[in-house]
Amino acid sequence: MSLLLYGVGDITGIMCPTIKHKKAYKVWSNMLERCYSEKSVLKHPTYIYCYVEDSWLKFKNFLLWFNKNYIKGAFLDKDLKKLGNKEYSEKYCSFVSRDLNNLLINSKNSRGIFPIGVTDASKIINGKKYTYYKARFSCNGKSQYLGCFSTIKEAQVAYNVAKSNHIIAFSNNNDLSKDVKNTLLQAAQWIKRGKTEWV
């Protein structure tokens, strides 16, 4: 009888996977958790409708791919070969650097009531409230102040333009596959137009 992780993950055929194949098992189990743990999906709603291709539900199959493709310090990614992809599989997944992995993250679950990159900068002076919204773009621990705006929309547009330009620059300045470069350039155009919910 198969032993199933999160009701779907099959570890039969592999002896002591958590010891002999510790890193591969951690990546595989985290992938299953993102897709099939109700608690995880509620915490990270961008993973709603994500799933693992049938062959990768068997750890022994995932392990074969992992051993051929893993890069130390890299992260498993499913989005950079196809924008908005929901499937974890050999067809769409690759191991990428932290910088590349973070490009399309929108931090939806932790950004509060304002759009990402926008904060309330309103002030009360002599009893009168002056409403402003600050835009700031942050990446890899560095923060860029974009200005103060009278509306949330204006601040959001400033952020979207900054992020779009950053993605384009990253794409142009790094040695990337044609598929990944095309995905990034498409994402940059979408973000510039205000579409971010697919990431």
Nearest one of 47, 108, 45 to 79, comparing CA atoms: 47
Same domain assignment for residues 90 and 116: no
pLDDT value at position 106?
62
pLDDT value at position 111?
58
Same domain assignment for residues 68 and 51: yes
Q: Tell me the residue type at 182.
A: N
Measured in whole angstroms, the distance separating CA 94 from the mean position of its chain's CA atoms is 13
Domain boundary among 54, 73, 96: 96
Dump strand ranges (E) for the chain: 4-5, 9-10, 51-52, 75-77, 87-88, 94-96, 118-120, 123-125, 128-130, 133-139, 142-149
Same domain assignment for residues 13 and 31: yes
pLDDT value at position 195?
74
Same domain assignment for residues 102 and 192: yes
pLDDT value at position 179?
87
Same domain assignment for residues 129 and 86: no
Same domain assignment for residues 112 and 192: yes
pLDDT value at position 104?
80
How many domains are contained in the chain?
2
Same domain assignment for residues 89 and 125: no
Same domain assignment for residues 141 and 92: no
pTM: 0.80
Same domain assignment for residues 124 and 88: no
147 φψ region: left (φ > 0), alpha (ψ -120 to 50), beta (else): left
Same domain assignment for residues 92 and 166: no
Residue 94 contacts residue 52 (beta carbons within 8 Å): no
Same domain assignment for residues 115 and 50: no
Same domain assignment for residues 11 and 77: yes
Q: Render each residue's pLDDT in the chain as its tens digit; 199 residues.
A: 467 899 999 998 887 777 889 999 999 999 999 999 999 999 888 899 999 999 999 999 999 999 999 999 999 999 898 888 999 999 999 999 988 888 887 665 555 688 889 999 999 888 898 899 999 998 877 899 999 999 999 999 999 999 999 999 999 998 888 888 999 999 999 999 887 655 4
pLDDT value at position 108?
58
Domain boundary among 74, 96, 118: 96
The contacts of residue 161 (CB under 8 Å, 6+ apart) are 192
Residues of the domain holding 129:
98-199
Domain boundary among 54, 71, 96: 96
